[in-house]
Structure 1
Amino acid sequence: MRGVGLLEGSVDISRIKEATASLTWAVDLTAPGDTELPSRFSDLGVSFSSLFEQTGDLPDINKAVSAHQTAVELVPDDHPNMSRFLYNLGASLTCRFEQTGEASDISEAVAVLHRSVDLLSPDDPNMPSRLASLGLSYRRRFNWTVELLDINEVIALLQRAVKLTPQSHPALPGRLADLGSSFEARFDRTGEFADITEAISATRRAVELTPQGHGELPAMLSNLGSSLASRFMRNGDLSDISESISLLQRSLDLTPQDHPVVPTLLANLGSTLNTRFGRTGNLSDITEAVIVTHQAVELTPQGHLDMPSRLSALGRALTHSFERTGELSDIDEAISAKRRALELTPLGHADLPRRLQSLGTSYHRRFQRTGVPSDIAEAFSAHRRSIELTPDGHASMPNRLTDLAGTLFARFEHSGELSDVTEAVSVLQRAVELTPEGHDDMYSRLNNLGVAFNRLFAFGVDPDANLDRSIIHFKAAAACGSGSPQRKLDAAVACARMLYRNHPHSPNTLPAFATAITLVALTAGLEQTIRGRYTRLQGISGLASEAAAAACRLDKADKALEWLEQGRCLVWNQLNNLRTPLDNLHMARSEKISLEDEARAHLELAKQWDEALEEVRGTPGFETFLKPPVCSSIIQHLPGSGPIIVINVDKSRCDAIALLAGMDTPLHITLPNFSIEKANAPKAGRKCAEDERVLRVLRGLWDDVAKPILDGLGISKASETSTDLLPRIWWCPTGLLSFLPLHAAGIYRGSDSESVLDYVVSSYTPNVAAITDRVRSQGSIPTGSSGLFLTSQPDAPGTSPIPGTTKEVQSIFRKAAGTGVRALKLEGDELGPGECLERMVEFSSIHLACHASQNAGEPLESRFHFHRGSLELGTILKANLKHADLAFLSACQTSTGDEKISDEAVHLAAGMLAAGYRRVVATMWSIGDQPAQEVATSFYDYIIAHRTTDGSGEFDGTLSAYALHHATQELRRNLDDSDHSLLTWIPFVHYGH
């Protein structure tokens, strides 16, 4: 909000003092009754006001007010200068009010400015400025009283001032900015959405009319940023808060560091970063918010009227920081800052209720951490008093009621008084009633009511009715048209779980899970970075399996399959969807950009993506383009050489869903003897033990998982051991089962020994689509692209030596080249990341014998290490590998995922599939140097021996699954069945078609 100023621009203070002294001398020398005396008093008042603007010394503004009052008293009402004298008096009274907060000053200012306006003729050229000054004085009074009549008057006056101001007038941008901030102030009071729209429109026009380099531009950018942040808090549109932060940062960049407005700009930026943190939870936002609000407080002079608001803003940021980091010092400092803010806030001040509410929230948060009873008592008292001081109809009332309810819940947890929950329900119902339709917070208030009724249900209070009420409110929260997808997902999950646990056969159970699964994709949307998406998914890992278990209980294997495809491998699917159907889209931005620019770029690209999808889906025949697939489309392109087995592991039950070519519906196979507890047992391969742990795990997988599935499919043990005669099978495990070696399940000791290897050739797939997409699009590789590229990197900097890779690659190359295969070998310093990528485009298959490292938080930064740098997965994904066939990753742990997001394929093997390779050989954990050589050599011997195009130079990885099966069996023949020996060959796995 721009202030009422009497002197614009930078002025030499010594000259102002000289002018003031001269005017004082002139007044003293003017005889009483002299007609010039009133004007000289008025000029003296203006000079004292100018001096005050430079010094901030209260005596200067007191002298200004006194001089202007004398000028007014010395002339009759009809004096031609009376309007000007009244205007100057009103301006000086407003200025003094801003310094002292004396309510009588602003009331008198409004009165005298009204008189000043009334004395002007309608066509007087001063009318726009007088209207604007009167409006701003009303605005100062509104800031104190929050009376709607005052803010309504402000807007009416400023609208008149803007209308009367010529388009080319230099004062127009400032008046538009003042009008915009006044609309925003009324929006904060009433919650009328039209007001914040008008605020943004007026302020944006003010910015457009303000020339670059103008001294008022930073303030206008800050005002626009604040208005966008206010709209974000109502509608939750991330583009608003992103633009807001960008504008606030720009306003700071344009302002000299020693300018007195800097603390205000810093406070605005900190508040907006804090607001965005409340939606996104990004640590960088709250860290920056604390820093800039600290700076704002430090730069604010003691006694300044804005000190309370800045202390309060600092307290809010520290409270959010505590919620994110758990640092007790943050919440202690937050409470201290907010208490200081309250001590500096006079009784009757409009911000008092908000500051009480904020203090109550911090006490509540500390109580949740420490359990100290006095904290929850302080929180309750602050929230109750905040509500008592809030006028009826105030837009913040629902929020304050919600906070009071939260305190009642917390007090109930401590004392066990059920009356607290009953009162909380009543308070929350009132909050919901007062919340406008479409408000961004509606979902959270409905969700809170669901929690409250659930508490009553849990304590046996009218259990049937309160269970139904809880479910109804959770369902309503999840279905809200506005609000954070993350929070709505929480409500949807709560609704689905309550139904599943209490009414598992209810017809509402599956629709509730359907809503939750749909919200999962929105929770990890394209507007977030890859790391941000994976962070979000950690909290909901396993939801798709839980939904699928509910569907299986109701004999809906088709629905279970749809949800497992829709709710798992979300980021992997996004990468595929962004690349596969839109081959002509390429990432063009390579310059280094700031984190804020990156966030805005993600948001803008996500909006463009949504708009493009809407346009494509409006085209006949493309109505379901990239929509979650239904069962009939999922099973449309199944491989003919064997089934895909989706295995769902949940706390309540375990099931297998078999998909076979030629069958119209999935085959549901229950696994009653397997459990999530068994899947969570010590994993084979984590450590080599002497107690036959591996043998026990493999037998458990055989008895409880693999054998029941093979029996259900009618697959018998092969009468001969030839790999060529075995059928194929694709394992698609979920949850913790993803970390266990299903391909090696079996009994390895005794007369009844048998294993999966005796029945089928195994492959893995992150999800069903990874296989069906390859079946649908399979075709021959052009002769010019077919071939094998090999590299060994035995001693890359920063890694341990693996000298065996040289022998491995040389042996494979000699065999391939000697039999006519088009092959190329580059080793060590001969190859850098860039050259490797060129060879991946040139050759259909690649063999990488090197070290690799995985980054679960940023999978696109997983990499292969070379002597001359490293090749990141993100770089590979950008390449156009449309003829890619086989990738053999002869490195450790290239198919190891992350248990925190077990349903997300965050490993290099899945990444190479996403990059375009049809099939990938990888390892589940560490491998020995010598076994790696033997498996790789035997693998390629098998493929080359089964070539059908000798002499053509082509290399085809179609038989890679059979080749790996053969190679691991060859290795196994030279080993016993001890845990150590099993861990030698089990790690090698095949992914893809």
Structure 2
Amino acid sequence: MNDLGCLLGQKFEATGVQSDIEEAIKTLREVVSLTPSGHADLPVYLNNLGNSFGRRFERTGDLPDIGKAIAIKERAVDLTPPGHANLPGYLNNLGNSFDRHFERTGDLPDSDKAIAIKERAVELTPPGHADLPSILNNLGSSFHRRFERIGDPPDIGKAIAIKERAVKLTPPGHADLPSILNNLGNSFDRRFERTGDLPDIGKAIAIKERAVELTPPGHADLPSFLSNLGSSFQSRFERTGDLPDSDKAIAIIGRAVKLTPPGHADLPARFTNLGNSLQSRFERTGDLSDIGKAIAINERAVELTPTGHADLPARLNNLGNSLRCRFEQTGDLPDIGKAIAIIERAVELTPPGHADLPAHLTNLGNSFHSRFDKTQSFDDLNEALSYYKRAGTSPAGPPSVKFDAAKTWAILLHIHFPASPETLLAFETAVRLVPVIAGLEQTVQHRHSTLHSISTFTLSAAATACYSERPDKALEWLEQGRCLVWSQLHHLRTPLDDLRVFNSSLSDRYSDLSKALEVAGSRTSGSAMGPPTSIADGVSAAEEALSHVKLAAEWDSVLTTIRTTVPGFENFLMPPPCSSLLQNLPDTGPIIIINVQKYRCDALALMAGLDEPFHIPLPCFSFEKAETLRTDLTGLLKSFGMRVREDAQGSEIGQHRKPRQARTGPHGETLASILATLWIDVVKPILDALAFPSSSELPRIWWCATGPLAFLPLHAAGIYDNGDSETIFDYAVSSYTPTVTSLTSRVKNARTALDDASGLFMVSQPDTPGLSRIPATMEEVRGIQAQLASCGVRELMLEGSAATIEVGLRGMENYNNVHFACHGSQDKDDPLQSGFHFHDGPLSLSTIIKKNLKNANLAFLSACQTSAGEEKLSEEAVHLVAGMLAAGYRGVVGTMWSISDTQAPEVAKDFYEYLLAGGGAGIDTSRASYALHHAIQKLRRRSGNSKHSLLTWVPYVHFGV
């Protein structure tokens, strides 16, 4: 009778015929009733009966069935002696029932019980056991479900790693393989929804397509696999906008719906997937028939979902969104009224702390906002603002969802209630979420990809602060939201001497975690590696990603412990207030931050002795003007052959060039006009506001520009007429800094720059394998070598084949100053892979940074475009110069575009001549900015201010102290 009951249950799983599961339960109940207490087979029979109730629950969704399944399976486990071969299976089945109950009710303790029980099942299952893949798959699914509820990143990382192990252990042709593959694909889906990392959704689609291919026609699981595959195509469409993905999603999910029998418990979920896909296509195409179908299908999904079901809030939310979308197209007010009422109910039914709550609150805010746009009722606007605020400040949920809500809250307040005290609070809420979205649990490459679309929001926040006459807030937010990746690296390398005095073990733990996170962050993301070549490769990648997430979580935990237990460390690595940022300013001149935003431009001057930033509005400058100047400069450089070419891998290769013949036409005037515009609209108004006198003893200025202005030569701004010139060179010696903190930390940790033992390490690569020849580098470096020798300064020169990466790294460790005369490469996709070309390959920034060169002083990068950066990441300073600052160098000389073979040796000669003029046996690197100023002035006197000569000396820049 037991065998008959089990076979009926298996038949039901394959065919979905309801009468089979009813007969199975009836038969197995009789089996249990006929079995005496203490019988050795009673746990077997109980387990089978519990499974049958579980199967019926999955079909009908009837809550008492899953309650009975749990009670019966708990009895089976209790009656099974320790060490019994069946115990892992019973535990696994019991855990599955707690999972089903959790899915239905959303009761979080059920999920925790399921995970604990299944972890015990895995521990008790011997390696090589035939059931191990299935048990692992189920454990992974439990972590997946808990992630959906609370959104904790380690849970989805664990889910993927465990399920990939299950796939690896499942033999080809096994009946469970399609299900295990489907579940793995679902977990890649969820992680993609959290991070937006496109390789994850690509993997999800490929894995689910394989699951569908392996599932025979007529199998009861086929509709589920199809629905999930369609949802993955839909997710990718929402990210990329590729319409064929939307069409595939609708066709595949439509097929899944047709194959699902009436009354099936999963039918509402499949209706929901189909409705969402139709709505997304409507948002792209505007086809009203799609949104009409979406509304009807979402209404059906809600009707079929029982009261109390954990998915009911999400389905109500989807229905409300569909109605809002139609309202925004048609303006039909009843639609938006219904949408608001339905999403309000979704919010009411979503438990506090649920990961979906911020999204539901945001959608409710969107609905009120849409109605406000139609009616102009400020009651609707105030309701929208209230819900955006709740979403943006929610303690749980994906950071990206909370950021979008906080951003909308802030922008609407600024537009409609600029004087509201909440306006600055809203912007601060959004700015503080930017580093959370691009967190340490991600690779550097993925962080940069994420920042493409959000980093410029910081500029809007700063502009609002300036409008509100709060330059202190503008400064704080610009520091928090710009150059995030370099700031995170700085945090990982924060000196811990004071902490070690209080708690050496905590200090050591923080240091160990920081080093491990630095290594984990530098690993290559999936998008660069391509798809795994085998399941084993996939498992390895998932385990690496999971380890990275765990490291970040533990680092955060240790950081919290430091702040809460160590006296004086309450604000350790917290975003610094304005008062802290104004400490350790250089006393030789101001730092000038220039915020370039769509609606206004402002300068903030930070000067030693002032207790707040000096605000200088720039009404004659604009974002559009900055963008036009940047575009003009790019076109000019390309026309003269002074812009980079790309190698086969897409990395930009900077190289010395013989300048083309000067030509007639607008190009020379264009560069002069760019410099003149910068002078008239930006630099001169700042100098006038600061009352900068023209002087023979020139002070310093550090420029910190944002937006398109970050790619323009502020250090050379001026009127370059042969008869009557006025330029920045008459007023100050210019340097740049990526952030204020980058400079003040160097001022704070000042050390003697004149170091007799420091010397200079030089690299010359006239014949880089695979790249063009640069014969002038030999002349340049040998000339410097002669200068150093005449002054008795310690030096080491590597040339040609002697300049290998290994020897080069030793030279950088043994010499505080370096001079690289070689090719440089800029990697747009992964800036830490940018570097310098040595004889045996590129020496990457990632490799240099890992050396943590604590005594580094000066780096002269006589390569091309070492400070050019990446236009899509204007706020991240992703160039070689910034990377060398991050590696520890206090000052760096670089170039904004290609430099001349002829002029480079002369600039280097004059630069070092100035630094060696003190007569000592060392290099006074504290005067590096003045040395570059001196060398460029000499080059100007030799070449004049012609349209061609401007191109030869303007690219040289100095960063740091």
Check if 1:845 corresponds to 2:817. yes
Per-residue deviation, 1:521: 0.9
The equivalent of 2:875 in structure 1 is 903
The equivalent of 2:150 in structure 1 is 235
The equivalent of 1:56 in structure 2 is none
Is contact 1:228-1:243 (8 Å) kept?
A: yes
Q: What does 1:328-339 correspond to in 2, within 5 Å? A: 328-339=243-254
Per-residue deviation, 1:344: 1.4
Q: Distance in 2 between matches of 1:456 and 1:221?
A: 49
The equivalent of 1:292 in structure 2 is 207
Instruction: Choose which of 925, 929, 944 in structure 2 pairs with 1:957.
Output: 925
Per-residue deviation, 1:651: 1.8
The equivalent of 1:974 in structure 2 is 942
The equivalent of 1:596 in structure 2 is 542
Instruction: Choose which of 670, 673, 677 in structure 2 pairs with 1:700.
Output: 677
Is contact 2:754-2:924 (8 Å) kept?
A: no
Q: Distance in 2 between matches of 1:855 and 1:925?
A: 15
The equivalent of 2:807 in structure 1 is 835
Per-residue deviation, 1:893: 0.6
Query: Could you list the per-position Cα deviations for residues 725-766 of structure 1 after superposition, in whole angstroms to 9, with x for gaps in the alignment?
Result: 211111111111111111111111276521111000000000
Q: Distance in 2 between matches of 1:245 and 1:652?
A: 45
**CA distance 1:362–1:785, shift in 2 (3 Å):** farther
Is contact 2:760-2:816 (8 Å) kept?
A: yes
Give 3-state SS (helix, strand or coil) of 1:766's partner: coil
The equivalent of 1:938 in structure 2 is 910
Q: What does 1:568-579 correspond to in 2, within 5 Å? A: 568-579=482-493
Is contact 2:753-2:926 (8 Å) kept?
A: no
The equivalent of 1:563 in structure 2 is 477
Is contact 1:222-1:251 (8 Å) kept?
A: yes
The equivalent of 1:676 in structure 2 is 623
Is contact 1:748-1:755 (8 Å) kept?
A: yes
**CA distance 1:598–1:782, shift in 2 (3 Å):** farther
Check if 1:734 corresponds to 2:680. no
Check if 1:382 corresponds to 2:294. no
Check if 1:640 corresponds to 2:608. no
Instruction: Choose which of 410, 416, 426 in structure 2 pairs with 1:512.
Output: 426
Instruction: Choose which of 250, 265, 272 in structure 1 pairs with 2:187.
Output: 272
Give 3-state SS (helix, strand or coil) of 1:459's partner: helix
Q: Distance in 2 between matches of 1:606 and 1:632?
A: 29
The equivalent of 2:219 in structure 1 is 304
Q: Distance in 2 between matches of 1:223 and 1:737?
A: 54
Check if 1:360 corresponds to 2:308. no
Per-residue deviation, 1:360: 1.3
Check if 1:686 corresponds to 2:686. no
Amino acid at match of 1:665: E
Query: Could you list the per-position Cα deviations for residues 200-246 of structure 1 after superposition, in whole angstroms to 9, with x for gaps in the alignment?
Result: 11111111111111111110000000110000001111101111111
Instruction: Choose which of 601, 617, 630 in structure 1 pairs with 2:577.
Output: 630
Give 3-state SS (helix, strand or coil) of 2:910's partner: helix
Per-residue deviation, 1:784: 7.0
**CA distance 1:878–1:891, shift in 2 (3 Å):** same
Per-residue deviation, 1:478: 0.6
Query: Could you list the per-position Cα deviations for residues 373-394 of structure 1 after superposition, in whole angstroms to 9, with x for gaps in the alignment?
Result: 3322222221111111111111
The equivalent of 1:5 in structure 2 is none
Q: Distance in 1 between matches of 2:709 and 2:477?
A: 18
Q: Distance in 2 between matches of 1:735 and 1:790?
A: 34
Give 3-state SS (helix, strand or coil) of 1:104's partner: helix
Amino acid at match of 2:560: E
Q: Distance in 1 between matches of 2:933 and 2:239?
A: 48
Is contact 1:387-1:400 (8 Å) kept?
A: yes
Give 3-state SS (helix, strand or coil) of 2:943's partner: coil
Per-residue deviation, 1:98: 2.4
Instruction: Choose which of 935, 954, 957 in structure 2 pairs with 1:986.
Output: 954
Give 3-state SS (helix, strand or coil) of 2:628's partner: coil
TM-score, structure 1 as length reference:
0.88
Amino acid at match of 1:717: S
Q: What does 1:430-579 correspond to in 2, within 5 Å? A: 430-462=345-377, 464-579=378-493
Give 3-state SS (helix, strand or coil) of 1:929's partner: coil
Q: Distance in 1 between matches of 2:174 and 2:708?
A: 58
Q: Distance in 2 between matches of 1:327 and 1:980?
A: 46
Give 3-state SS (helix, strand or coil) of 1:846's partner: strand
Larger relative contact order (Cα-Cα within 8 Å, sequence gap ≥ 6): 2
The equivalent of 1:746 in structure 2 is 718
Give 3-state SS (helix, strand or coil) of 1:382's partner: helix
Per-residue deviation, 1:474: 0.6
Q: Distance in 2 between matches of 1:922 and 1:453?
A: 52
Give 3-state SS (helix, strand or coil) of 2:933's partner: helix
Per-residue deviation, 1:420: 2.0
Q: What does 1:193-204 correspond to in 2, within 5 Å? A: 193-204=108-119
Q: Distance in 1 between matches of 2:683 and 2:446?
A: 36
Is contact 1:728-1:760 (8 Å) kept?
A: yes
Check if 1:134 corresponds to 2:134. no
Instruction: Choose which of 733, 736, 753 in structure 2 pairs with 1:764.
Output: 736
Amino acid at match of 1:615: T
Q: Distance in 2 between matches of 1:281 and 1:211?
A: 37
The equivalent of 2:767 in structure 1 is 795
Q: Distance in 2 between matches of 1:527 and 1:591?
A: 12
Amino acid at match of 2:546: R
Per-residue deviation, 1:249: 0.6
Q: What does 1:47-58 correspond to in 2, within 5 Å? A: none
Per-residue deviation, 1:123: 3.0
Per-residue deviation, 1:892: 0.8
Comparing 977-986 with 343-352, greater Cα deviation is found at 977-986
Is contact 1:789-1:840 (8 Å) kept?
A: yes
Q: What does 1:49-198 correspond to in 2, within 5 Å? A: 85=1, 87-198=2-113
Per-residue deviation, 1:567: 1.1
Q: Distance in 1 between matches of 2:760 and 2:703?
A: 27
Per-residue deviation, 1:257: 1.3
Per-residue deviation, 1:323: 2.5
Per-residue deviation, 1:372: 2.8
Is contact 1:855-1:862 (8 Å) kept?
A: yes
Amino acid at match of 2:439: G
Amino acid at match of 1:679: A
Query: Could you list the per-position Cα deviations for residues 464-488 of structure 1 after superposition, in whole angstroms to 9, with x for gaps in the alignment?
Result: 1111111111110011111111111
Give 3-state SS (helix, strand or coil) of 2:926's partner: coil
Per-residue deviation, 1:783: 5.0
Q: Distance in 2 between matches of 1:198 and 1:497?
A: 43
Amino acid at match of 2:367: A
**CA distance 1:763–1:113, shift in 2 (3 Å):** same
Give 3-state SS (helix, strand or coil) of 2:796's partner: strand
Query: Could you list the per-position Cα deviations for residues 460-519 of structure 1 after superposition, in whole angstroms to 9, with x for gaps in the alignment?
Result: 342x11111111111100111111111111111111111111111111111111111110
Check if 1:886 corresponds to 2:833. no
Query: Could you list the per-position Cα deviations for residues 629-681 of structure 1 after superposition, in whole angstroms to 9, with x for gaps in the alignment?
Result: 11111111011111111111122222111111122222122222211111111
Q: Distance in 2 between matches of 1:782 and 1:215?
A: 70
Give 3-state SS (helix, strand or coil) of 2:837's partner: strand
Amino acid at match of 1:902: S
Is contact 1:443-1:478 (8 Å) kept?
A: yes
Q: Distance in 2 between matches of 1:251 and 1:652?
A: 54
The equivalent of 2:558 in structure 1 is 612
Query: Could you list the per-position Cα deviations for residues 565-609 of structure 1 after superposition, in whole angstroms to 9, with x for gaps in the alignment?
Result: 111111111111112426965457899984323322321221122
Q: Percent of counterpart pairs with the same letter? A: 51
Is contact 2:9-2:21 (8 Å) kept?
A: yes
Give 3-state SS (helix, strand or coil) of 1:921's partner: strand
Comparing 587-596 with 847-856, greater Cα deviation is found at 587-596
Q: What does 1:32-43 correspond to in 2, within 5 Å? A: none
Q: Distance in 2 between matches of 1:301 and 1:293?
A: 14
**CA distance 1:599–1:785, shift in 2 (3 Å):** farther
